[in-house]
């Protein structure tokens, strides 16, 4: 049995601030995981990663992270990616604070 | 305090200027990340999970008020109002923005500080006993040697591309507060039978995925031979160290693969070649450096205020019992300011608290401040008569927690709350353990107990040498914590033993509680510390408490 492709999102850190961002279907970088493009096909995933890697003036360290569909868009599946959607757990710092004001 | 020479000043300023241009070229797209990454790492700038992190060296853990105020300013202006003291006597800023980093490095250079060689395969910040120059049990202040090593290793052309990072620690006392046995080179100042000063030299200690205690390669190295000998060690390592596999690249592996006898022979051979080349200039330099570490002008005054408060004020007494250490001048004490308030992040200090420490160091402490590898701040020279006033000021500033050396004085690495390499969180585990034992009001009854937590196998939180060590792992997508017992980072250094299967995140605090309760039940009276009891009893009673009495599913 061939392994099924686990859906992915493209994620990276913003070059200037370091914030965690996700690539949207319309080629924006968003802070919100739910706005990311959920990629269900391996070949498309590689293309999107290439596209991301060409944006070195905006972002750093793009990679594909496992995700799954949810009611409000893609959701992370691993706890590391879940922490990356928010920020640290010891202070209300990072995106969890920044997104309060959006 | 040692002041930078003109050479240091010029070198640091040039590096800041270079790096400022590199940042600009990265931002305008002329440098790719692949090109920029090694450059930023050379200047202590990492990219973490949620932001950049700047690591700033605090050579041998020594600061003065001016430096501390500048760190406070940097935290307030470019970070989120705080900084994090680390186990390698560095400070890490967790939220700098890339365009601001040149300004931060300039502000550091203004007070003779920098982030050079805090990353990369170089000789890292030389760490020292944080009680250096003050401890009653010290043979000599190790910081003059540490400074000599710092000057020699900074920008040393031969040692910028070692097989792997290289860490040196030094102590001037028999009681090892600097964890010298877990460093690539550990140095202990000793006297020989003729009363001459020299060093016991250990090589090949280290933690990480292959934890090893350093081996003694020289029982007595004469003082004058320090640099040629250390250079010989590095030069042998530079040739033999493995560059094909970064997990096998540290000198500890070289030592084990080559064998102690052979490596000692090679070091001694190289040392004979190098020794004549040093020609005494290093010793002249050492004499100059030594002057900068002369003891302060100690005051001779009554200590009655201390005795009175100690008798009458229980809060002061509790603090004095845990947070003071014996000074070589018996009118003085060494004060450890705990940065481990129960429930707070171990090692995080706000800019306002840093300002307060700077003020107190000037007012009471001969302008001397230390950062310990245990992530606390030390005022090494406080006249006992000033302790009540100092304590009152610390209470006001919220940094008078009386828990040094106790179960809530936990070392924790940043773990998955910040670190990109982490496999699990460590900070919240530390917070919850500390809060739990405070609620139980058991800390003081338990007595000396060192818990150390790392969020991955790299062991930045020294978990292997914790009396109780906790290592956070990722087991099939879930945080899981392995516990070790009986480790020690002191002169009786030892790598802790695993208890057995790991524990889920929410089972770590109950597990630690069962270990501690087993200790309290089995100990030979309050005089027998946790570590002593473990050594007498062995693992069995603790294993039983962890895995047999508890609900079996706790130990998933
Ligand atoms: C957050 C960014 C950090 C990164 C990327 C990082 C990376 C690493 C790595 C890769 C190792 C393993 C080295 C080896 O075994 O060859 C290591 C070891 C170590 N690090 Fe960190 N670390 C970080 C933070 C810290 C902090 C915050 C501390 C102090 C609290 C620290 C202190 C140490 C120590 C003491 C060791 C183990 C001793 C040894 O080198 O054998 N590091 N670190
Ligand atoms: S031990 Fe691991 S998780 Fe902790 S700081 Fe070091 S590299 Fe990061």
Per-10-residue mean pLDDT, chain B, length 556: 72 92 96 94 93 92 96 97 90 96 95 79 86 94 92 80 87 93 94 95 90 92 94 88 83 85 92 90 89 92 95 97 97 98 96 98 97 95 97 97 97 96 97 97 96 96 97 96 97 95 97 98 96 97 86 45
Tell me which residue of B151, B128, B152 sits closest to B140, measured CA to CA: B128
CATH of the domain at B465: 3.30.413.10
Flag if B50 and A19 touch (Cβ within 8 Å). Answer: yes
Q: Give the span between the Cα atoms of B538 and B524, in whole angstroms.
A: 14
Tell how far the Cα of B473 is from the centroid of ligand 1, in angstroms. Answer: 16
Residue with the nearest Cα to atom 33 of ligand 1? B460
**What integer pLDDT is reported at residue A1 of this predicted model?**
44
Residue B128 covered by a domain: no
Which residues, in sequence order, are CB contacts of B103 under 8 Å at separation 6+? B78
- A90 min Cα distance to partner chain B (Å): 7
Domain boundaries, chain A: 8-101
Which residues, in sequence order, are CB contacts of B392 under 8 Å at separation 6+? none
Residues with beta carbon inside 6 Å of ligand 1?
B 46, 48, 53, 86-88, 92, 164, 167, 206-208, 250, 413-414, 418-419, 421, 458-460, 462
Residue B123 covered by a domain: no
Spatial strand order in the sheet of B377-383 = B62-63, B369-371, B377-383, B332-337, B324-326
Q: Could you say which ligand is closest to the alpha carbon of residue B412? A: 1
The residue out of B86, B110, B134 marking a domain boundary is: B110
Which residues, in sequence order, are CB contacts of A38 under 8 Å at separation 6+? A7, A8, A9, A67, A69, A73, A74
Specify which residues A66 forms β-bridges with: A8
pTM value is: 0.92
Which residues, in sequence order, are CB contacts of B550 under 8 Å at separation 6+? B510, B511, B514
**Is the domain of B359 the same as that of B417?**
no
Residue B118 covered by a domain: no
Flag if B51 and A57 touch (Cβ within 8 Å). Answer: no
**Is the domain of B264 the same as that of B170?**
yes
Q: Please, are residues B162 and B117 in contact by the beta-carbon 8 Å criterion?
A: no
Q: Give the span between the Cα atoms of B390 and B386, in whole angstroms.
A: 6
**What integer pLDDT is reported at residue B385 of this predicted model?**
97
Q: Please, are residues B343 and B335 in contact by the beta-carbon 8 Å criterion?
A: no
**Is the domain of B104 the same as that of B198?**
no
**Is the domain of B309 the same as that of B421?**
no
Q: Please, are residues B430 and B417 in contact by the beta-carbon 8 Å criterion?
A: no
Query: Can you list the alpha helix ranges (DSSP code H) found in B182-259?
Result: 226-240, 251-258
Q: With an 8 Å Cβ cutoff, is B147 touching chain A?
A: no
Domain count of chain B? 4
Query: Can you list the alpha helix ranges (DSSP code H) found in B81-188?
Result: 101-110, 143-153
Q: Could you say which ligand is closest to the alpha carbon of residue B416? A: 2
Please report residues of A whose CB lies closer than 8 A to that of B428.
89-90
Q: Give the span between the Cα atoms of B501 and B324, in whole angstroms.
A: 38
Which residues, in sequence order, are CB contacts of B240 under 8 Å at separation 6+? B254, B258, B263, B266
Q: Give the span between the Cα atoms of B546 and B143, in whole angstroms.
A: 43
**Is the domain of B146 the same as that of B281?**
yes
Chain A contacts to B (CB-CB under 8 A): 13, 15-20, 56-57, 60-61, 77-80, 83-84, 87-91, 93-95
Q: Give the span between the Cα atoms of B144 and B287, in whole angstroms.
A: 9
Q: Give the span between the Cα atoms of B130 and B151, in whole angstroms.
A: 20
Residues with beta carbon inside 6 Å of ligand 2?
B 413-415, 419, 421-422, 454-456, 458-461
**Per-window interface: B 46-75 vs A, CB < 8 A:** 47-52
Q: Give the span between the Cα atoms of B429 and B470, in whole angstroms.
A: 9
Residue B448, phi then psi, degrees to nearest 5: -60, 125
CATH of the domain at B367: 3.90.480.20
Choose, out of B51, B81, B92, the residue to mutate when testing the contact with A (most A CBs < 10 Å): B51
**Is the domain of B547 the same as that of B464?**
yes
Which pair of tokens denotes residue A48? 């999107």
**What integer pLDDT is reported at residue B304 of this predicted model?**
94
Residue B148 covered by a domain: yes
Residue B513 covered by a domain: yes
Domain that residue B49 falls in: 6-110
Weakly modelled stretches of chain A, pLDDT under 70: 1-2, 101-102
CA distances to A7, B323, B401, B511, B526 from B317, in Å? 60, 10, 12, 32, 19
Flag if A88 and B418 touch (Cβ within 8 Å). Answer: yes
Residue with the nearest Cα to atom 32 of ligand 1? B460
Tell me which residue of B213, B216, B156, B147 sits closest to B181, measured CA to CA: B213
Residue B288 covered by a domain: yes
- Tokens 């084990």, residue? B256
Tell me which residue of B319, B298, B358, B314 sits closest to B134, measured CA to CA: B298
Residue B40 covered by a domain: yes
Flag if B418 and A95 touch (Cβ within 8 Å). Answer: no
Q: Give the span between the Cα atoms of A68 and A74, in whole angstroms.
A: 5
The residue out of B62, B89, B110 marking a domain boundary is: B110
Residue B445 covered by a domain: yes
Best probe residue, ligand 2, of B415, B459, B470, B479 (max atoms within 8 Å of C-beta) = B415
Q: Give the span between the Cα atoms of B355 and B69, in whole angstroms.
A: 6
């Amino acid at each position: 049995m061939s392994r099924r492709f686990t859906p992915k999102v493209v994620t990276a850190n913003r070059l200037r601030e370091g914030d965690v961002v996700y690539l949207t279907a319309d080629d924006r970088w968003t802070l919100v995981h739910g706005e990311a493009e959920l990629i269900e096909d391996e070949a498309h995933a590689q293309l999107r990663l290439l596209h991301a890697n060409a944006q070195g003036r905006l972002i750093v360290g793009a990679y594909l992270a496992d995700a799954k569909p949810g009611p409000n868009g893609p959701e992370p599946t691993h706890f590391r990616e879940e922490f990356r959607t928010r920020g640290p757990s010891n202070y209300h710092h990072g995106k969890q604070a920044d997104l309060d004001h959006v | 305090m040692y002041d930078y020479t003109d050479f240091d000043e010029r070198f640091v300023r040039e590096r800041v200027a270079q790096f400022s241009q590199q940042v600009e070229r990265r931002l305008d797209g002329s440098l790719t990340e692949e090109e920029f990454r090694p450059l930023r790492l050379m200047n202590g700038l990492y990219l973490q999970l949620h932001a950049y992190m700047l690591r700033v060296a605090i050579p041998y853990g020594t600061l003065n008020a001016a430096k501390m105020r500048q760190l406070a300013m940097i935290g307030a202006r470019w970070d989120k109002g705080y900084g994090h003291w680390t186990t390698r006597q560095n400070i890490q800023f967790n939220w700098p923005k890339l365009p601001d980093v040149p300004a931060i490095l300039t502000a550091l250079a203004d007070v003779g500080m920098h982030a050079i060689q805090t990353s990369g395969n170089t000789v890292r910040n030389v760490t020292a006993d944080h009680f250096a120059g003050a401890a009653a049990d010290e043979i000599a202040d190790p910081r003059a040697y540490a400074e000599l090593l710092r000057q020699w290793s900074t920008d040393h052309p031969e040692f910028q591309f070692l097989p792997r990072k290289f860490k040196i620690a030094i102590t001037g006392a028999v009681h090892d507060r600097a964890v010298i046995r877990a460093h690539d080179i550990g140095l202990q100042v000793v006297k020989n039978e003729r009363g001459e000063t020299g060093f016991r030299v250990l090589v090949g200690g280290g933690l990480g995925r292959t934890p090893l205690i350093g081996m003694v390669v020289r029982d007595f190295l004469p003082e004058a031979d320090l640099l040629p000998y250390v250079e010989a060690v590095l030069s042998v390592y530079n040739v033999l160290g493995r560059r094909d596999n970064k997990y096998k690249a540290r000198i500890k592996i070289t030592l084990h693969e080559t064998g102690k006898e052979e490596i000692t022979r090679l070091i001694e051979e190289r040392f004979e070649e190098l020794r004549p080349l040093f020609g005494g200039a290093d010793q002249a330099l050492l004499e100059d450096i030594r002057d900068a570490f002369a003891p302060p002008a100690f005051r001779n005054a009554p200590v009655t205020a201390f005795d009175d408060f100690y008798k009458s004020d229980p809060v002061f007494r509790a603090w004095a019992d845990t947070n003071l250490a014996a000074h070589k001048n018996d009118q003085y004490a060494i004060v450890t300011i705990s940065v481990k308030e129960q429930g707070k992040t171990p090692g995080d200090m706000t800019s306002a608290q840093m300002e307060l420490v700077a003020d107190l160091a000037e007012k009471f402490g001969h302008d001397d401040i230390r950062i310990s590898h245990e992530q606390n701040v030390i005022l090494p020279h406080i006249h006992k008569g000033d302790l009540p006033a100092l304590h009152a000021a610390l209470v006001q500033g919220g940094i008078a927690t009386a828990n040094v050396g106790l179960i809530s004085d936990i070392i924790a690495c940043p773990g998955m709350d910040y670190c990109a390499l982490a496999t699990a969180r460590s900070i919240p585990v530390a917070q919850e353990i500390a809060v739990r034992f405070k609620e139980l009001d058991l800390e003081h009854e338990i007595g000396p107990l060192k818990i150390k937590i790392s969020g991955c196998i790299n062991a930045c939180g020294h978990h292997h040498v914790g009396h109780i060590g906790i290592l956070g792992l990722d087991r099939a997508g879930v945080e899981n914590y392995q516990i070790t017992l009986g480790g020690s980072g002191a002169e009786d250094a030892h790598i802790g033993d695993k208890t057995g299967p790991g524990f889920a995140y929410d089972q770590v605090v109950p597990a630690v509680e069962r270990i501690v309760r087993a200790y309290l039940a089995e100990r030979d009276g309050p005089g027998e510390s946790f570590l002593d009891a473990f050594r007498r009893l062995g693992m069995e009673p603790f294993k039983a408490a962890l895995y047999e009495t508890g609900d079996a599913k706790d130990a998933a």
